[in-house]
Amino acid sequence: MPVNILSVRNLCINYNSLEALNVLSFDVEKADYVGLVGPNGSGKTTLVKAILGLVRPSGGAMTLFGQPMPEFRDWYKVGYLPQKMHSFNPHFPSTVREVVALGLISRKKFPRRLDKSDETAITRMLEMLNIAHIANKLIGELSGGQLQKVFIARALINEPELIILDEPTTALDPETRENFFSLMRELNLKQRATIILVTHDIGTIGEHASKLLYLDKKIIFYGSFDEFCVSDSMSKYFGRSSQHIICHKH
Amino acid sequence: MDLNEMLHYAFIQRALIAGSFIAVLCAVLGVLLVLRRLSLIGDGLAHVAFGSVALGLVLRVSPLYASIPLVTASSLGILKLMEKARIYGDAAVGIVSSLGIAGGVLLASMAGGFNVDLFSYLFGNILSISLGDVITSIAVSSIVLLVVYFYYHDILSLTFDEEFAKASGINAARINSIIVMLTAVTVVLTMKIVGVMLTSALLILPAVTAFQVARGFGKAIVIASAVSLFSVFAGIILSFSMNLPAGASIVIVNFLLFAFMFACRGIRSTVKKQ
């Protein structure tokens, strides 16, 4: 029987009087790999922020791992890779190890001290992403690709059951991008991690995700790629050529 | 007069003990404030403290009792302005700062002009602090250091990436309020040492000096504390032996250390490139 990881019912979000999301209802089940796509300003990042509890809904309800959102406390089950990785201060005097360690603190109770097993977990994660050699480098000394890997390590260090990726590969070269997506595929297939991948790249989303959530303030389509690719209503909405672009790599 | 002889004076001992605690306190908070781009909050709150001292003098209550609640309320006001009025931290600090100084000038004018007491708070004098001030400095510094110790990872996460910290379940509003309230109390204490005009220097200079060489957030806090301690000790000794104002001497030593570390960093990166 499918297990609901995320359940969204009649979700509405307004910024002042502007409508960002309008009556969204959908479920994400365990081991789903959902591609969240839509045009600029369609509410993708707003939806991600709502799932992470960063934005308060104007209406509707959400449950995460079966718990109503306001009461949800098990944030270590959720790994998050934010879109704006350059929004931090590049002169921040933290090392790569320190930044990756920040991913672990959602698992810790007050006063959130790290122990030896945490240090081992950090080392293992750095090795897995091939960045162990830069562990003691300052964050401001890294290239865009290295920085992105550090944030990926921070997002995955807890072995989260739900991974939310907001435009994760923008700073990565093709090889690292391919490695990143094979890692996600492995986590999805072998460890049954649930993944929500936000992307603008509709041409390649079918390569990675098993489900498509097309958003434009409201849900235009939510379902499997197979359903999307044969849907006449979607063909009318997007036009045959756009539908083909989304589907051709699936 | 040699150092040994100097240390026999009770007022020098008080200055060194209180100064050491406040030095570490300012260094630790300074690292957090500078990294959060709130460097000038110390300056703004010091201006509010000036207004509060004027109020205390007009009402004939201890300036400290008038300052702590008013400056703390102002620090929370700055946070609220940033959140609710959707303005950047520097503008929020500017509003509260100018309000504080304007209030102080108005009160001083209504009370018949500036007097000696008010001026002593403008420039401070660590050599005149009382035993009560020493005890207050030790108590407040200990509380702040304990808070930073227990909330170290929350503070680091929030300072580095507020959005990620919130998504990790960290109560950002609570930690932010704690940090600005601690800053408010620190500013009131620091005012006694270097005065309203130079308070922000004790918060900013040790932190930016540490950032020239530190490789890690924890190390930055330790180096900033060492720099701050050295500046206060050297400043007090210079002030006493050369008959200079203590606050200004401490700030100048702090600046010289910054200039030295900045130069060392420049030389190191030039050597690395070669």
A111: chain B residues, CB-CB within 8 Å: 149-153
Tell me if A95 and B215 make a contact (CB, 8 A cut-off): yes
**Average pLDDT of the residues in A53-71:** 94
Look up the CATH number of the domain holding residue A12.
3.40.50.300
The model's confidence at residue A58, banded by pLDDT at 50, 70 and 90, is very high
Instruction: Report the distance separating Cα B77 and Cα B158, nearest Å.
Output: 20
Residue A174 touches partner B, C-beta closer than 8 Å? no
For residue B2, the model assigns a pLDDT of: 76
ipTM: 0.88
Give the range of the structural domain holding residue A46, as residue numbers without chain letter: 4-247
* Residue A193 · residue A160 · CB < 8 Å: yes
Q: Give how far Cα B250 sits from Cα of A113, B125, B232, Å.
A: 36, 11, 5
Instruction: Give the bridge partners for B74, in sequence order.
Output: none
* Residue A122 · residue A97 · CB < 8 Å: yes
Instruction: Report the distance separating Cα B127 and Cα B236, nearest Å.
Output: 8
Closest partner residue to A93 (CB to CB) among B149, B170, B220 is B220
Look up the CATH number of the domain holding residue B144.
1.10.3470.10
Number of structural domains in chain B: 1
Number of structural domains in chain A: 1
Closest partner residue to A102 (CB to CB) among B37, B151, B156 is B156
Peptide bond into A68 cis (omega under 30): no
* Residue among B160, B213, B223 with most chain A CBs within 10 A, to mutate: B160
Instruction: Give the bridge partners for B154, in sequence order.
Output: none
* Residue B28 · residue B221 · CB < 8 Å: yes
For residue B58, the model assigns a pLDDT of: 85
B218 CA: distance to closest CA in chain A (Å): 8
Instruction: Report the distance separating Cα B188 and Cα B196, nearest Å.
Output: 9
Tokens of B70: 């008013």
Return the residue of A nearest to B37 by Cα.
A89
The model's confidence at residue A87, banded by pLDDT at 50, 70 and 90, is low
Return the residue of A nearest to B148 by Cα.
A111
For residue B1, the model assigns a pLDDT of: 63
Dihedral of the CA atoms B171, B175, B180, B183 (nearest 10)?
180
State the sign of the Cα–Cα–Cα–Cα dihedral A174, A180, A183, A184: negative
CA-based nearest residue to B52, from B41, B40, B60, B64? B64
Higher-pLDDT residue of A180 and B258 is B258
- pLDDT tens figures, A93-127: 999 999 999 999 998 888 888 999 999 999 999 99
Closest partner residue to A75 (CB to CB) among B168, B211, B217 is B168
Give the range of the structural domain holding residue B62, as residue numbers without chain letter: 3-273
The 3-state DSSP class for residue B234 equals: helix
